[in-house]
Protein backbone atom coordinates (compact mmCIF):
# COMPACT_ATOMS: atom_id res chain seq x y z
CA UNK A 1 0.00 0.00 0.00
CA UNK A 2 1.30 3.44 -0.93
CA UNK A 3 2.36 5.76 1.89
CA UNK A 4 0.86 8.87 0.36
CA UNK A 5 -1.24 9.83 -2.65
CA UNK A 6 0.58 12.94 -3.84
CA UNK A 7 -1.87 13.53 -6.69
CA UNK A 8 -4.63 13.87 -4.07
CA UNK A 9 -2.77 16.04 -1.57
CA UNK A 10 -0.68 18.18 -3.95
CA UNK A 11 -2.65 18.03 -7.20
CA UNK A 12 -1.10 21.13 -8.77
CA UNK A 13 2.44 19.92 -8.18
CA UNK A 14 1.59 16.44 -9.41
CA UNK A 15 -0.05 17.92 -12.50
CA UNK A 16 3.02 20.07 -13.21
CA UNK A 17 5.20 16.93 -13.30
CA UNK A 18 2.59 15.17 -15.47
CA UNK A 19 2.53 18.14 -17.86
CA UNK A 20 6.31 18.07 -18.25
CA UNK A 21 6.15 14.32 -18.81
CA UNK A 22 3.48 14.79 -21.49
CA UNK A 23 5.63 17.43 -23.20
CA UNK A 24 8.68 15.17 -23.45
CA UNK A 25 6.58 12.19 -24.54
CA UNK A 26 5.16 14.29 -27.39
CA UNK A 27 8.61 15.48 -28.47
CA UNK A 28 10.73 12.34 -28.31
CA UNK A 29 10.52 9.10 -30.24
CA UNK A 30 8.26 6.71 -28.29
CA UNK A 31 10.79 3.88 -28.13
CA UNK A 32 13.68 6.15 -27.12
CA UNK A 33 11.45 7.77 -24.49
CA UNK A 34 10.57 4.43 -22.88
CA UNK A 35 14.12 3.04 -23.11
CA UNK A 36 15.39 6.07 -21.20
CA UNK A 37 12.55 5.85 -18.68
CA UNK A 38 13.13 2.13 -18.17
CA UNK A 39 16.89 2.50 -17.63
CA UNK A 40 16.57 5.33 -15.11
CA UNK A 41 13.85 3.40 -13.29
CA UNK A 42 16.07 0.31 -13.08
CA UNK A 43 18.90 2.38 -11.61
CA UNK A 44 16.55 3.99 -9.09
CA UNK A 45 14.86 0.72 -8.10
CA UNK A 46 11.38 1.95 -9.01
CA UNK A 47 9.26 -1.16 -9.50
CA UNK A 48 6.21 0.81 -10.62
CA UNK A 49 8.08 2.66 -13.38
CA UNK A 50 10.12 -0.39 -14.46
CA UNK A 51 6.87 -2.27 -14.93
CA UNK A 52 5.20 0.63 -16.75
CA UNK A 53 7.99 1.34 -19.22
CA UNK A 54 8.81 -2.30 -19.92
CA UNK A 55 5.11 -2.86 -20.61
CA UNK A 56 4.99 0.26 -22.81
CA UNK A 57 7.97 -1.00 -24.83
CA UNK A 58 6.22 -4.34 -25.22
CA UNK A 59 3.09 -2.54 -26.50
CA UNK A 60 5.30 -0.67 -28.98
CA UNK A 61 6.32 -4.05 -30.40
CA UNK A 62 9.82 -4.18 -28.93
CA UNK A 63 11.28 -7.67 -28.68
CA UNK A 64 11.26 -9.10 -25.18
CA UNK A 65 14.99 -9.82 -25.34
CA UNK A 66 15.70 -6.16 -26.07
CA UNK A 67 13.57 -5.04 -23.12
CA UNK A 68 15.34 -7.48 -20.79
CA UNK A 69 18.72 -6.29 -22.08
CA UNK A 70 18.22 -2.62 -21.18
CA UNK A 71 19.97 -3.23 -17.85
CA UNK A 72 22.99 -4.63 -19.73
CA UNK A 73 22.77 -2.49 -22.88
CA UNK A 74 26.55 -2.05 -23.19
CA UNK A 75 27.03 -5.80 -23.61
CA UNK A 76 24.58 -6.36 -26.46
CA UNK A 77 24.24 -5.33 -30.06
CA UNK A 78 20.51 -4.71 -29.58
CA UNK A 79 20.63 -0.91 -29.47
CA UNK A 80 21.31 1.74 -32.09
CA UNK A 81 24.08 4.30 -31.76
CA UNK A 82 21.56 6.96 -30.74
CA UNK A 83 19.90 4.67 -28.20
CA UNK A 84 23.29 3.80 -26.72
CA UNK A 85 24.18 7.48 -26.39
CA UNK A 86 20.80 8.19 -24.77
CA UNK A 87 21.20 5.28 -22.34
CA UNK A 88 24.71 6.43 -21.39
CA UNK A 89 23.40 9.96 -20.84
CA UNK A 90 20.52 8.56 -18.78
CA UNK A 91 22.91 6.70 -16.51
CA UNK A 92 25.18 9.73 -16.11
CA UNK A 93 22.34 12.12 -15.28
CA UNK A 94 20.52 9.64 -13.03
CA UNK A 95 23.76 8.97 -11.14
CA UNK A 96 24.73 12.66 -11.30
CA UNK A 97 26.67 12.57 -8.01
CA UNK A 98 29.45 10.86 -9.96
CA UNK A 99 29.44 13.70 -12.51
CA UNK A 100 28.59 13.89 -16.17
CA UNK A 101 31.60 12.89 -18.23
CA UNK A 102 32.39 15.13 -21.21
CA UNK A 103 32.76 12.06 -23.42
CA UNK A 104 29.19 10.93 -22.66
CA UNK A 105 27.84 14.44 -23.23
CA UNK A 106 29.83 14.96 -26.44
CA UNK A 107 28.59 11.69 -27.93
CA UNK A 108 24.97 12.57 -27.18
CA UNK A 109 25.50 16.10 -28.56
CA UNK A 110 26.98 14.61 -31.75
CA UNK A 111 23.96 12.37 -32.32
CA UNK A 112 21.08 14.59 -31.19
CA UNK A 113 20.24 18.10 -32.42
CA UNK A 114 20.16 20.63 -29.58
CA UNK A 115 16.36 20.66 -29.37
CA UNK A 116 16.14 16.88 -29.15
CA UNK A 117 19.04 16.76 -26.70
CA UNK A 118 17.22 19.33 -24.56
CA UNK A 119 14.07 17.20 -24.62
CA UNK A 120 16.13 14.12 -23.75
CA UNK A 121 17.64 15.85 -20.70
CA UNK A 122 14.14 16.94 -19.64
CA UNK A 123 12.86 13.36 -20.07
CA UNK A 124 15.69 11.99 -17.92
CA UNK A 125 15.03 14.59 -15.25
CA UNK A 126 11.31 13.89 -15.33
CA UNK A 127 11.63 10.13 -14.88
CA UNK A 128 13.96 10.74 -11.98
CA UNK A 129 11.23 12.89 -10.37
CA UNK A 130 8.62 10.16 -10.99
CA UNK A 131 10.98 7.51 -9.58
CA UNK A 132 11.51 9.52 -6.44
CA UNK A 133 7.78 10.03 -6.02
CA UNK A 134 6.96 6.35 -6.51
CA UNK A 135 9.85 4.92 -4.47
CA UNK A 136 9.31 7.27 -1.51
CA UNK A 137 5.55 6.65 -1.43
CA UNK A 138 5.88 2.88 -2.01
CA UNK A 139 3.81 2.98 -5.19
CA UNK A 140 3.64 -0.59 -6.48
CA UNK A 141 2.88 -1.83 -9.98
CA UNK A 142 -0.57 -3.28 -10.57
CA UNK A 143 -0.88 -6.99 -9.73
CA UNK A 144 -0.36 -9.56 -12.45
CA UNK A 145 -3.53 -10.69 -14.18
CA UNK A 146 -4.71 -14.21 -13.60
The 10s digit of each residue's pLDDT in 18-57 is 999 999 999 999 999 999 999 999 999 999 999 999 999 9
Confidence of residue 91 (pLDDT cuts 50, 70, 90): very high
Which DSSP string do the residues of 95-142 spell out, in sequence order?
TGGG---HHHHHHHHHHS-HHHHHHHHHHHHHHHHHHHHHHHHT--PP
- Give the pLDDT confidence score for residue 2 in this predicted structure: 79
What domains appear along the chain, each with residue ranges and CATH number? 12-137 (1.20.1290.10)
The pLDDT of 84-92, averaged and rounded, is: 98
The pLDDT of 53-70, averaged and rounded, is: 98
Closest CA to 108 of 118, 94, 99, 97: 118
This prediction has a pTM of 0.95
pLDDT > 80? residue 1: no
Amino acid sequence: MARLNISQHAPQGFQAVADLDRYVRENLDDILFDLVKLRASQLNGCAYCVDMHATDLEKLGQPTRRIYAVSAWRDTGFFTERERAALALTEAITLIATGLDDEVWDEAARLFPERELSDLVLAIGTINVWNRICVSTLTAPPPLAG
